Amino acid sequence: MPHAALRTLALTLPLLLAACSSVPTPTDTAGGGRDSRPQVSTTLPKDALLAPDVEVKLKVSDDDRVTRVQWSLDEGTARLRSGEFGEGQIKSDLTLSLGGLAGGAHTLKVTVTDSAGQTTTQTYAFTVDAVVPGFTALTLNGTAVAEGGTADLAVGAAATLAVTAADDLSGATVYVLRGTEVLAQGSGSVTTDLAASAAGNVEYKVVAVDAVGNTAVRTFTVNYRATTSGKTPAPTPVLTINTANTPPYSGSLSVTVAGNYDATSTVDRIILEVTDANGNVDNTTYVSNAPTATFSVDTSKYVDGNLTLRAIALTKEGLRGETVTRTVQIRNVSAPTLTILSPDTNATLTGPATVRVQLRQGNTPFTLQPLDSAGSDVRLSVRDFRGQIVKTVLGKAQKVSDGVYEAYLPLDLIGPDFSSNAYTLEVSAAATLSDGSARTLGSAVQISTQVSDNKPPALSVLMPAYIVDPYTNANVRGILSRNSAMMLQASDDNGVSSLRVDFVCDDATKLAGQECPRAPYSYNVPVGEAGIFFRVFEIGALLDAQPYVQNGNYTLRVTAYDGRNANIQEFPVRVSRAAVDSDIANLASQSTVDNVIYDSRPGELNIVSARWIVPGTTANPVRVATLAYDNTLNVLIPSRQRIDPVLPAGTSIQVTQGFSEPGSYRIDYIVEDLVTGVTRYYQGGIIVVKKNAS
């Protein structure tokens, strides 16, 4: 393949895209007038000699419109490739990218169809040169120079470099470079003088480029030494790449650094400095106190592209020597992973569900290809026990952090069209990697459905609630602080045995500095009750307890059990102890009891009514749960409750209650700001009502 750093040199050669072209005779395969069939042309030269990565420019036209463009490569052979452009993709100018072609002859056939069903077919022949040129000789003063080798020369001494190279198809042009400076060039061979007037290490690069841009590179270093007198010279380190593979490199790269210390120096350390394609410098991983060391560089730790190496040698006397930088290409091409996060494998669905899909980038950046005109890029296919696809859902992945994307796909397999049975959920996506290669991604899980009287409990998380539609994939979370509470509603005909609340941390969505434990933070609430019931959970009071829940992003997972079945609901939240996330704007931090009406008449209740109020008025729309506790101090189980889904900005949160029986009474509120997502629990004061003496 063409060497990226030498593309400018390669383009100066008489390469493949000469100003010649041929237009094969089109074949009309349908009826109609002569001028009504579609037309297709290309700039692909006749009998061209091309590189393994080819971009074919197609121009299509029709007096009405082109509805389909089909192509096939090497039809009738084991190397067959084919594809098409659908109507929604067709423009007058199309680009067909063919990457990684094998060397040898190839035939490309393009068929264009118009809206009347008429077709035109054209065929193009070309040859691919996939072999890089080879060096037949590379010597310095008559001595062969190995790849990554080092030669020692005195300053001013003769230094004759002789290079010859050949190519199997088109010949080769040879270049000798010092850094980016071209010292010499020739067709097939070159001879040049590398004598230097100053001491130091100089890296040279010898490049052979064939007619299609295939490139072979040899690098070597010359250590020019000057005679010194009266003081210890600085070390002159040498950097040698031992890996014999042709760049770009992948996996482990073996590099030897020799300090070349003077006999009078005391070795301190040698350093192999590595700089990746993004400019990140690593000068701490590869360090040795020995005068010579061989390092194994894990290239998969770095992004694909240029990796710049430099050797540094230090003495305890404070002397420093370093090599010129040496740049190598690395490529650890890896496709992103596609995973179904929920539902779990072998899960049983008893109602509508959401399939959560995650894509994670490897070493290679990627883009997802659209699957329809709406821009959907993730497909969910449901296969039944026969292997037939019975349902398809499309969705769009949204970026949640660098290199991580997620999609939420609604799925309902409960209904007359689907039986209680085993199903396979298959998700797929088409990705194009930064090197131009296309990858098909996929993942699958086995699930089953159950539609019978033996259903799991119904479960709803009432507070906190979503403040935006979660199916828009907007990354907005409810906020829980030390002052928060949550409200749940559950029901079951056979009885709910327990409720469990988990804070689940995901490495893909956690905040900076947040540590995800191996197991979720879990809190269990025994229930043992049938029918419909509500529970209030003072989650804020537990955040600082053991286990301590760190500030950060979590999935709040609530599970209702009935002894045999479970229902799980998930809700994205952020735990924060910041003051701005602990209070509702314009509301006081505590509720109060006022407007208490007393009655002193004998035999009557001593208090007629009272008001529970949170001082202030709301700055934003809010959602409010009002909780009444009659003759009970148990916050977990309210006597009565009410949900106001939306109260407008400027609302005063208050309830006035009259009393008809002696007892203790309290009104609490859970308030969620529908703009910020902050959720606050206000516990009211207790009013004790008694009968006056007769």
**pLDDT tens sequence across 393-412:** 999 999 988 889 999 999 98
Worst-scoring range by mean pLDDT, 164-173, 335-344, 521-530? Answer: 521-530
Domain that holds residue 682: 592-689
CATH number of the domain at 660, please. Answer: 2.60.40
348 contact partners, CB below 8 Å, separation of at least 6: 447, 448, 449, 450
Written as six digits, the tokens of 633 are 């101090």
Q: Which of 115 and 228 is assigned the larger pLDDT? A: 115
pLDDT in tens, 567-592: 999 889 999 999 999 999 999 999 99
Whether 141 and 285 share a structural domain: yes
Q: Are residues 324 and 432 in the same domain?
A: no
Residue 82 and residue 147 in one domain: no
User: Kind of pairing, strands 48-50 and 119-128?
Assistant: parallel
- Mean predicted confidence (pLDDT) in 312-318: 88
Q: Are residues 124 and 177 in the same domain?
A: no
Predicted local distance difference test score (pLDDT) of residue 451: 62
- Do residue 263 and residue 368 come from a single domain? no
* Ramachandran angles phi, psi of 329, nearest 5°: -95, 135
**Number of neighbouring beta carbons within 10 Å of residue 600:** 7
- Whether residue 25 is predicted with pLDDT greater than 70 in this model: the reply is no
Most confident by average pLDDT, 140-154, 423-437, 602-616: 602-616
Q: How confident is the model at residue 303 (pLDDT cuts 50, 70, 90)?
A: confident
Residues 182 and 233 both lie in one domain: yes
Between the CA atoms of 70, 75, 81 and 84, what dihedral angle is there, to the nearest 10 degrees? 10
How many domains, in total, are found in the chain? 5
694 belongs to a structural domain: no
Based on the domain organization, do 376 and 516 belong to the same domain?
no
Q: Residue 72: is its pLDDT beyond 70?
A: yes
Q: Are residues 302 and 353 in the same domain?
A: no
Residue pair 394/375 in contact (Cβ under 8 Å)? The answer is: no
Domain boundary at 128, 153, 176, which? 128
- Would you state the structure tokens that stand for residue 462, as one six-digit string? 């009432």
Q: Mark whether 556 and 637 lie in a shared domain.
A: no
pLDDT beyond 80 at 97: yes
- At 240-265, the pLDDT tens digits run 999 888 888 888 999 999 999 888 78
Q: Tell me if 603 is assigned to some domain.
A: yes
Indicate if the pLDDT at residue 28 is higher than 50: no
Q: Which helix (H) or strand (E) holds 114?
A: strand 104-114
pLDDT score of 333 more than 90: no
Q: Which residue has tokens 């850094």?
A: 179
What residue spans of 197-304 are helical by DSSP H?
none
Q: Are residues 167 and 259 in the same domain?
A: yes
* Residue-level pLDDT at 14: 35
**Domain closes at, from 290, 311, 330:** 330
DSSP sequence for 625-654:
EEEEEES---TTS-SEEEEEEEE-TT--EE
| Opening angle at CA 401, ends 400 and 403, nearest 5 | 110
With cut-offs at 50, 70 and 90, classify the pLDDT of residue 379: very high
> In this structure, are 115 and 256 located in the same domain?
no
**Last residue within a domain, chosen from 558, 581, 604:** 581
**Tokens standing for 541?**
């009071």
Q: What is the pLDDT of residue 401?
A: 86
- 257 within a domain of the structure (yes/no): yes
What is the amino acid identity at position 155?
A: V
523, 557 Cβ separation under 8 angstroms:
no
In tens, the pLDDT along 648-668 reads: 999 999 999 999 999 999 999
The band of 230, judged by pLDDT with boundaries at 50, 70 and 90, is low
Write out pLDDT tens, residues 506-524. Answer: 888 899 989 988 878 788 8
What residues contact 227, with CB distance under 8 A and at least 6 apart?
none
Q: Quick check: 250 and 177 in contact, CB under 8 A? A: no
- Tell me, what amino acid is at 194? L
Q: What is the pLDDT of residue 573?
A: 92
